[in-house]
Amino acid sequence: MPWERLGIYLIKSNWTLTKPVEAELFKIKHFKIYQSDKHYLKAAIAQAFKADNELTTYNNKRFSYRTEPETFEFYFPPGLGEHSLAFKRLDDSPVSWRIEAEYFYSENPLEDYQNYINNRFGQSALNNFNQEIINNMSALYPRLFSGSTTPSGGVKTLQAGKPEKVLSENLGRTEYTIRSKGHPVLLATGFDEQGKPLAILEEMPPNYNYNHNATTAGLYKGEVWAVSEQDTKITFTEYVAQ
């Protein structure tokens, strides 16, 4: 069950909004600050959404600069299918402050949804867990349960120096994520007979999450191939519109 990068953000005096996300567990990492007054940096983190071009924030929490990551939990309110995070600077220090936000993404959404029911509402509710409950609760997780997009994923074993196809061409693709393990991996649109990449998509360092979606520079919907100089494994998740 991996953590996915949501983005890197500069904390400013006005609200900074992330892209919409369906997660409820978030991790904030701070880029190292060398100035001596870094410990006085204060900011707010909140859930947020836009309706009719108006920003609404709620469940505001405080956080400050620290060297270790900090985890925040934000539950969906009923009826809200996805939300964003928002950040706002509360101090007047001239020190530049950047953070990296991650969200917890499940590769087994149905199992985790059952755990969610059990943790939020108890074992009795879980005993009554059925497809009707999923349908009634679909507003919480529209991408996973409403059929707007369908996630699929798996694990691909790479042999040293041998290109392997990870994803086939799919015109319905809306997003995909590929995660490297302990060795660097090269992603490409394909390889020629000499083993050279046709076009490089990404050069992934070890333990790296590569996410490609509509907010990146053009959504690539063709074949995705991978190769590594060492034996390794990668995991992948692809979202397809229905």
* Domain limits, the chain: 3-104, 109-145, 149-241
Torsion of CA 58, 144, 3, 166, to 10 degrees: -150
The number of C-alpha atoms within 13 Å of 214 and in the hemisphere containing its C-beta is 9
pLDDT digits (tens, 9 = 90+) for 83-123: 789 999 999 888 999 999 998 876 655 566 666 666 666 66
How far apart (Å, rounded) are the C-alpha atoms in residues 101 and 8? 6
pLDDT digits (tens, 9 = 90+) for 194-238: 889 998 888 888 888 887 765 544 578 889 999 999 999 999 888
Average pLDDT over residues 190-196: 89
How far apart (Å, rounded) are the C-alpha atoms in residues 92 and 126? 48
* Residue with the larger pLDDT of the pair 213 and 138: 213
Fold identical between 3-104 and 149-241? yes
DSSP percent split of the chain into helix, strand, coil, nearest 5:
15, 45, 45
Average pLDDT over residues 161-185: 88
Q: What's the CATH code, domain 3-104?
A: 2.60.120
* Residue with the larger pLDDT of the pair 1 and 227: 227
Confidence of residue 145 (pLDDT cuts 50, 70, 90): very low
Residue 85 near residue 18, CB atoms below 8 Å: yes
How far apart (Å, rounded) are the C-alpha atoms in residues 142 and 7? 22
Architecture of domain 149-241: Sandwich (2.60)
pTM of the model: 0.49
Confidence of residue 72 (pLDDT cuts 50, 70, 90): very high
